[in-house]
Structure 1
Amino acid sequence: MVRFENNRQPKLLILYASYGEGHLQVARAIRDAMEEQGNYRTVMVDLMAESHPWLNEVTRRFYLKSYTHMPSLYGWMYDFTRPMKHDSLFGGLLHSFGRDKIRRILAIEQPDAVVHTFPIFALPELKRRMNFHPPSYAVITDFDLHRRWVHPSIERYYVATDDLKRELSLLGIPSRSIQVSGIPLKRGFRTTTASAELYERYRLQPDKPVVLIMAGAQGVMPDVTEICSGLLQDSNVQIALICGHNSLLKDSIEQQFRHHSGSSRLHVYGFVDQIHELMALSSCLITKPGGVTLSEAIAAGLPIFTYRPVPGQEKQNALYLQSKGAAVIANDPAELTEQILKLIGDPLRLTTSRMSIAQLQTSQTAADSIVLDILSNLRIMERASIL
């Protein structure tokens, strides 16, 4: 039972995982939104890394390798487990990871609420065994619903779209327990606009359209060289290529294009923390279709191109946005180049694409919406406990 004594600030425990960057980014966005409310009592825990460090490293490496070198295997595993229930043999095993660790964390931190940005739900058994059981919230970080996210211990789900809310409702989740918030992002995506200062900072020309290519946090998008070569054939196009943490890709691209006629229009960056600034300068985005990156593009009103999406949640994300007219899926460099040049060369097509994207934007930033809802729920529970 939640009690706030002496007007103390409620404490939030956020559980995330390091399989990709998105779950951590969402956790940080929620923490930052709490701090915007004047609350500095958020604790963030990578549950798998802290409870099973060896297993976490092995499974994380397998995730990255299968994702890039065996995408069909990854897609098969995703589709095979997609309908599993929380109380199935495999589902129960997955949700058991970190149980001992979370018991110790709860005893030490005594949080008022727990937020999951990754679907490892180790709390249900503990709720039956411990008197202390804070409410649990889940922030679904994709546009596709995997049943691993669905669990009776969750008080409220925060989802990206009305379609996800309907899908959860069909699975028996009460409508009052689902809020369409969008996916939480870091600050800046709705407030940053193109300016002479930003163009100068990123060495871009304001009179030429910018194609932003995000190769992924690990720099794993295929055929980057061919994509850049095709786009640079149009002398009106400039490219901002983000290689993330892949320094080998960055060095390779810079070496290959050193003597290319379009080299002055190709700008290669490593990891860029303020990606919203480059999005504000760009005409369109080529990206792997991770939920957070797609949400960033939607918040920035940026037309999206996804290239050879990997089977699994990213392909489902891409297919969903394509069905809404907010993204284009391409499977070879020539097709991708043709689609991009058609878009940036046709003002009507560009406007139509941006209007489709605007339909997916939420009225309030997702992190703020989630934090305000959680704090409101905790205040209600506090009043109820006093009465």
Structure 2
Amino acid sequence: MTKRRKIFILYARFGEGHWQAASALRHSFANQGNTEIRLIDLLAESHPVLNGVSQYVYNKSYHVLPQVYGWVYEATKGMKSNSMFASWLHSFGAETLQRLVEDERPDAIVHTFPILVLPFVTQKTGRKIPMFNVVTDFDLHFRWVHPDVDKYYVATEDIGRQLCELGVDPSRVAATGIPIRPTFMSGTTGALAASYYDLTPSKPIVLVMAAASIPWTETAELSRKLAERCNAQVVIVCGRNRSLRASLSNELLTIKEITVLGYVEHIDELMSISACIITKPGGLTLSEAIFAELPIFLYRPVPGQERNNARYLASKGAAVICQTVEQAGKSVTELLEKPERRIEMRKALKALSKKGASDSIALDIARQLHIMKEVSLAYGSILIEG
């Protein structure tokens, strides 16, 4: 009987994307069978107080002082894995991970967040565990880079080239795309989705992903302009931010062309019937929009990985960066009034699209582990014969 494989997936709750990518991978590994998956928020498990404080500071710096967040991100972007600061960052959670490794003996560890504690644990235990990094942005920060990583799975060929330029062997890099929710594979028809949300398929739908970093009054103003100027239906998704949803619902209650929603599990349904999306440039949302070939408008991206994500997609013609309500309204109007503009953007999105990223990554990791096992057995046989 084949031994059941065990894999740890390490993530963090700094934003939704790292957890969503981890969940997508868990689903893909489960489909393979004979694999036990454990999702671990390592910082939360090992340092719950520090994790809470870190998330608070992250949210405040990200939303209140974005320039400071951006400066820190850019200042540390090129740090080496053996630098004192990188070693310090990658030491958090070491005791917890060491205990988990010794107790459960996983066959591999996958990261969807760059908290690379495993090399430190390897030094302590002397046991080498295969390590795989799934980079969840369209921008490469050196926190993801470490010589002990067995393979990197990245969003684009451009990031793959960056890694190779840093000395990573091409065989250790795969441009698979970023894992997205398995619901995107369900193929919900536009007619069913429109009926569910009480929308008219024949009238343009603009999907707006509301963000806490943007004042709700600004989101309301933008939505009004879109409904009036573009003669469009506007669907605003507020996620789990109840106060944001309440404020927007009260403000826009009388405008029948505007629908305000909270957290939407099957965002693929809304994307399938929308003409475009206005959002902040998080890696997961961008990957989902790219999969749906949905023209992207990025509203006031904050400094750091999101601004770099935005610049990358804009350089490819797949997204438009908008800094004001007026600019966003004008850009969306142009898209809706000029079919050729939408065709251009969808062509650029299709060029970036990577279908089945989660399944591809899970299958390749399984293949890598099989090869490593075969090599280990062959090497053991040579030693015995010698």
TM-score (normalizing by structure 2): 0.95
Aligned equivalents of 1:190 and 1:38: distance in 2? 19
Sequence identity, in percent? 44
Matched, 1:58 2:53: yes
How far residue 235 of structure 1 moved from its aligned partner, in angstroms, is 6.1
Which consecutive unaligned segments of at least 5 residues does structure 1 have? 1-5
Aligned residue type for 1:119 = P
Amino acid at match of 1:367: S
Of 14, 17, 20, the match for 1:22 = 17
Q: What secondary structure, in the 3-state scheme, does the structure 1 residue paired with 2:288 have? A: helix
Q: CA deviation at 1:93?
A: 0.5
- Could you tell me which residue of structure 1 aligns to residue 238 of structure 2? 243
In structure 1, the partner of 2:371 is 380
Equivalent of 1:339 in 310, 331, 339: 331
The residue number in structure 2 matching 1:370 is 361
- Cα-to-partner distance string for 1:168-216 (whole Å, 9 max, x where unaligned): 1111111111011100011132552543221111111111110000124
CA positional deviation for 1:225? 1.3
Give 1:161's aligned residue.
Answer: 156
Matched with 1:3 is none
Which residue among 57, 60, 75 is the counterpart of 2:70?
75
Q: CA deviation at 1:221?
A: 3.3
In structure 2, the residue corresponding to 1:189 is in which secondary structure? helix
In 2, the alpha carbon distance for the partners of 1:148 and 1:196 equals: 44
In structure 2, what is the Cα distance between the partners aligned to 1:361 and 1:189?
13
- Give the superposition deviation at 1:133: 2.2
- Which of 339, 348, 368 is the aligned partner of 2:340? 348
Structure 1 residues 359-382: Cα deviation after superposition (integer angstroms, max 9, x where no partner): 0012x4111111000100111122
What does residue 304 of structure 1 align with? Answer: 296
| 1:124-149 residue CA offsets vs partner (Å, 9 max, x unmatched) | 12222323321000000000011111
Amino acid at match of 1:158: Y
Q: CA deviation at 1:86?
A: 1.2
Which letter maps to 2:133? Answer: A
Q: Does residue 128 in structure 1 map to residue 149 in structure 2? A: no
Assess, with a 3 A threshold, how the Cα gap between structure 1 residues 52 and 203 changes in structure 2: closer, same or farther: same
Q: Which residue of 1 aligns with 2:256?
A: 264
- 1:10 maps to amino acid: R
Aligned equivalents of 2:330, 2:90: Cα separation in 1:
45
Provide the C-alpha distance between the structure 1 equivalents of 2:104 and 2:325, rounded to a whole number of angstroms.
51
Residue 215 of structure 1: aligned partner:
210
Q: Is the 8 A contact 2:5 2:35 kept in 1?
A: no
The corresponding residue for 1:175 is 170
Contact 1:74 1:312 in 2 (8 A): yes
1:255 deviation in Å?
Answer: 1.2
> Match for 1:336: what amino acid?
A
Matched-pair contact (CA < 8 Å) for 1:190–1:299: no
Aligned letter for 1:221? I
Task: Give secondary structure in 1 for the equivalent of 2:129.
Answer: coil
Cα contact 1:243–1:269 (8 A) shared by 2: yes
Q: Distance in 1 between matches of 2:178 and 2:230?
A: 36
Deviations 1:285-323 (A, max 9, x none): 000100011000000110000000000000000000000
Which residue number in structure 1 is paired with residue 270 of structure 2?
278
Letter aligned with residue 270 of structure 1: G
Aligned to 1:197: 192
Partner SS, residue 298 of structure 2: strand
Distance 2:281 2:257 in 1: 25
Task: Give the root-mean-square deviation of aligned CA atoms.
Answer: 1.2
Moved beyond 3 Å, runs of 4+: 219-222
Question: Residues 131 and 151 of structure 2 are in contact (CA less than 8 Å); yes or no, is this contact kept in structure 1?
Answer: yes
Q: Counterpart amino acid of 1:49? A: A
Question: Quick one: distance in 2 between partners of 1:275 and 1:51?
Answer: 32
Match of residue 324, structure 1, among 293, 298, 316 = 316
Taking a change above 3 Å as real, the CA distance of residues 347 and 235 of structure 1, as seen in their structure-2 partners, is closer
Q: 1:337-358 CA deviation, whole Å, 9 max, x = no partner? A: 0000110111111111100100
Determine the C-alpha separation between the residues in 1 that align with 2:56 and 2:47.
Answer: 14
Per-residue deviation, residues 95-153 of structure 1 (Å, max 9, x unmatched): 01111011001011211010011111111122223233210000000000111111111
Equivalenced residues, count: 376
- TM-score, with normalisation over the residues of structure 1? 0.95
Q: Does 1:146 align with 2:141?
A: yes
- Report the Cα offset of residue 89 of structure 1: 1.4
Q: Secondary structure at the match of 2:256?
A: helix
The residue that corresponds to 1:315 in the other structure is 307
What's 2:351 paired with? 359
